[in-house]
Every structure is written in C-alpha cells, then in structure tokens.
Amino acid sequence: MTDKLLPPVEFVVLTIAKTAVANEKYFGELDAVVGDGDFGYSLARGFELVVRDWDTFDRTDTSTFLRKVAVVVTGRVGGTSGPLWGTAFIRAASAAAGKTEADGATAVAMLRAAIEGIAARGNASLGDKTLLDSLSPATDEIERQVAAGSDGPTTVRAAAGVARATADETAKLQARRGRQAYTGERSIGSVDPGATAVAVMFEALAETWPAGF
C-alpha cells in the first residue's frame, strides 16, 4: 500500500477501513450487550479486504472508486451490516458521479445520499437507535461548518464531537431496528454499536486529518 498523501475521499475510506479492523473486539463487545456480538467481526471482515486490496481499486473517478468499495463491503460483511454499509457507499458513489474529487458541498451531498440509502435499506429513522442517530447529526455539523467556511481539520473535529455526543445519547433510546429491537426495553441503557462505530471513525479522522485538506 502506498504511503503518499491520499486524496480526501480515499483518505476517509482508508481511515474507516483501518478503524473498523482495529476496533473489531470493541465493536463486538458493544454489540454483545443486547445483540449477538457479531457486529465487530462482520465489519472487520469486510474492511480488512478493502485494506488488503487497496492498491487494486480502479480510481478513474471518485464514483468508480466508491462503487468498488461497495462491492467488497457488501460481498464480505455479514448480517445486516453488509447491505447497509454497502448501500451507503453505493449512494455516495452516485452523488459523486462525474467528480474526480469532492469539495465540501459534494462531501455533504455524498453523506446525505448515504444516509438516505441506509434509512431506506434498513427502514430506519432518527430515534430508532441505529448508526443514523450519530451519522445524521454529524453530517448536519459538517454542513454548518462548510457553510461557515471552516477549514477541513476544524470541520472534521466539530463533526467528531457531535458524532460522539449523539452516539452516547443513544443509550437513552429503545432499539427499534435490528436484532437489538427484539430485546425491547432491555436495549435502553446501552449505546448503539453502529452509532458508536461512526463516532470512533470520525474521531480517527479528526486525529489524522491532513492540514492541507
């Protein structure tokens, strides 16, 4: 794998992939509280292939690259996570069509498209105790920062703060989607693994975001 400075979209995807692999045990432990504990394992198995095959991905444009990532994730990540994360990358790819790289407005559009795809595929809404409860507010913050003219590091740090705060807030919610939903009120009191994974990924991005982006 090359060590050169990656374009922003590639940097984001690689950071997500490495974070998913590095946090396999932690994400699994979160899921085991009221779920079946396979979330960390499933996510890591898909994203480790993204890392392994990184240099083989077609980078003709941003959309082509993201579609390849989507194919790998969908084909390898098990359970409900594969279709959800795969759909997110596919929808983001569609929003990036014709782009060789993404500016702030395009990044927001890609995230919005991903959110809509996840919501449709998972039949989920805000408040259902899913990754949307962290991803959507974090995207709102990115949009605010972009509109204010903030630089990349400031924007990502702000989004990471919102992602963490809203992920922690999911402990107050009752799960209404996924396997956790079967536990009813027992799901109250523990954070949602998907929302927390989003927060951890944003924090990883904030810690390593290049100053030039």
Can you tell me the mean pLDDT for 67-78?
A: 91
Name the phi and psi angles at 182, rounded to 5.
-70, -15
The structural domain count of the chain equals 1
Six-digit token string for 22: 């590095």
* Structural domain contains residue 3: no
Residues in CB range of 20: below 8 A, 6 or more apart: 27, 43, 44, 46, 47, 197, 201
Contact 23, 42 (CB under 8 A): no
Is there a contact between 168 and 191 (Cβ–Cβ < 8 Å)? Answer: yes
Q: What is the band of 182 on the pLDDT scale with cuts at 50, 70, 90?
A: low
- Is the Cβ–Cβ distance between 205 and 142 less than 8 Å? no
pLDDT of 72 over the 60 cut: yes
- Domain carrying residue 30: 8-208
* Tens digit of each residue's pLDDT (9 = 90 or more) over 78-95: 778 889 999 999 999 999
Rounded to the nearest 5°, which phi and psi values hold at 59? -115, 35
The average pLDDT across 22-31 equals 96
Q: Is-above-0.75 flag for pTM?
A: yes
**Residue 96 maps to a domain:** yes
CB 193 within 8 A of CB 133: no
Mean pLDDT check: name the lowest of 7-11, 97-101, 153-157. Answer: 97-101
- Report the distance separating Cα 212 and Cα 51, nearest Å: 23
pLDDT for 14 beyond 70: yes
Structure confidence at residue 4 (pLDDT): 58
Do residues 146 and 111 lie in contact, with contact meaning Cβ atoms separated by under 8 Å? no
* Arithmetic mean of pLDDT, 167-173: 97
pLDDT of residue 8: 92
Encode pLDDT of 191-205 as tens digits.
Answer: 999 999 999 999 999
Q: What is the pLDDT of residue 32?
A: 92
- In this prediction, what percent of the chain has a pLDDT beyond 70? 96
pLDDT recorded at residue 1:
54
Task: For 125-153, write each residue's pLDDT tens digit.
Answer: 999 999 999 999 999 999 999 999 999 99
pLDDT digits over 54-71, tens only? Answer: 999 999 999 999 999 999
Tell me whether residue 144 is in a domain. Answer: yes
Q: Per-residue confidence at 102, pLDDT binned at 50, 70, 90?
A: confident
C-alpha–C-alpha distance, residues 152 and 209, integer Å: 8
Average pLDDT, the chain: 92
Residue 143 sits in a domain of what CATH number? 1.25.40.340
* DSSP code at position 175: P
